[in-house]
Amino acid sequence: MLSNIKYLTVIAALVVGALVVVHNLNLEKRITSLSEQVDILNSMAQIDKVRVERMNKALAVLNRYNPAMPYNQKLAIANEITDATFKFTNLDVDLICATITHESAFSWDPQVVSQAGAMGLMQVMPATGKFLADIEGVHWTSAGRVLFDPVLNIRLGSRYLSSLIELYDVDGGLAAYNGGNRRAQMWLAQNKAKGVLYHETQQYVPAVLSLYAEFRTN
């Protein structure tokens, strides 16, 4: 009888021990899960913080050059610029804003058109815009409907600028954005010698870079 009691006691102890181990494992898993959830929430909070900071930078530039623009449109533009910086890691708010500022002749007017026919905030040519729209999944109805929409214009223009910077770095990318790939390639191949770029592009690159440097310090 005593032997059976000892046997049952040992079994009970083993069962209790096993339950304690299972409980501890479950507790450890729950703690790990909670820790992971906290990390996710912290990451999301950090992303939100960065997004707000980037949107505020874009809004500050926009308010400087086109304060009369409706506030809802300003928010939509700032949001699209911010989205572009997350989507294209070689772009930041200051560079996009510098490009828009110069391309729109410091007006930030979504309806601006150049003598060559480039349209909207980032001065996208219709043929280029149609090509980019297909890549971005933007429904192309007409040049006016798409390129005069500031959100779509920035989406397409940012895609184009990012692809050129990826090929030629920032200054070469800006040269290609303004004067075309061929001239930019020749310019870089000749160590950025004077006289290779078109006169307009020769002035364009340092002008945008100057704005870029200015916006980065603010």
Query: Among all residues, which ones are annotated catalytic?
Result: 103
Assigned token pair, 74: 């300003």
How would DSSP label each residue in 191-209? Answer: TT-TTSS-HHHHHHHHHHH
CB 95 within 8 A of CB 170: yes
- Give me the helix-helix angle, 93-103 and 2-65, nearest 10°: 20
- Cα-Cα-Cα-Cα dihedral of 60, 61, 63, 67, to 10°? 180
